[in-house]
């Protein structure tokens, strides 16, 4: 079965950088979209970034220009490089995947369509 394991979370000061990783396993020959989502306590889960099976990337407006999603297919790993971090970026970051049907931006807006989820990694940005 598909498994997603996030890593790389931690504490960083505002303006700093951090990279979170998503190690995937159990994928079959299906094409998948993989995305990063985040959720702060008491807040709705929101899409951060998504990479489609063809490599197309999508970003939430709030992170565009600061975050970069990438993948290393040989390692079955998706990365989210986060730069110029702000306190409002503080959240548990989740990696999620789904057999792709819609374009990646769909999944950013409708996270409930994602089928497979990791357990999350906490990113805390201090002021």
Look at residue 27 and tell me whether its pLDDT is greater than 90.
Answer: no
What is the pLDDT at residue 29? 76
Give residue-wise pLDDT tens across range 42-83: 999 999 999 998 899 999 999 999 999 999 988 889 999 999
Look at residue 118 and tell me whether its pLDDT is greater than 90.
Answer: yes
Query: Looking at residues 111-117, what average pLDDT do you find?
Result: 96
What is the pLDDT at residue 14? 98
Q: Rounded distance, CA 28 to CA 89, Å?
A: 33
What is the pLDDT at residue 30? 77
Decide the pairing of beta strands 77-82 and 57-59. Answer: unpaired
SS (H, E, C) 95-124: EEEEECCCCHHHHHHCHHHCCEECCCEEEE
What is the pLDDT at residue 115? 96
Query: Looking at residues 35-41, what average pLDDT do you find?
Result: 96
Out of 30-34, 49-53, 108-112, pick the least confident: 30-34
- Please list the residues that pair with 123 across neighbouring strands: 10, 91
What is the pLDDT at residue 48? 98
Give the pLDDT band of residue 110 (cuts 50, 70, 90). Answer: very high
């Amino acid at each position: 079965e598909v498994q997603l394991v996030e890593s790389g979370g931690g504490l960083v000061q505002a303006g700093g950088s951090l990279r979170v990783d998503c190690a995937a396993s159990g994928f079959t020959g299906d094409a998948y979209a993989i995305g990063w989502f985040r959720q702060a306590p008491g807040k709705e889960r929101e899409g951060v970034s998504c990479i489609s099976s063809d490599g197309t990337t999508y970003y939430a407006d709030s992170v565009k220009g600061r975050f970069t999603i990438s993948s290393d297919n040989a390692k079955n790993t998706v990365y989210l490089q986060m730069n110029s971090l702000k306190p409002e970026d503080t959240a548990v970051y989740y990696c999620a995947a789904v057999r792709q049907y819609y374009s990646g931006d769909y999944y950013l807006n409708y996270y409930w369509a994602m089928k497979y989820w990791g357990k999350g990694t906490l990113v805390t940005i201090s002021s």
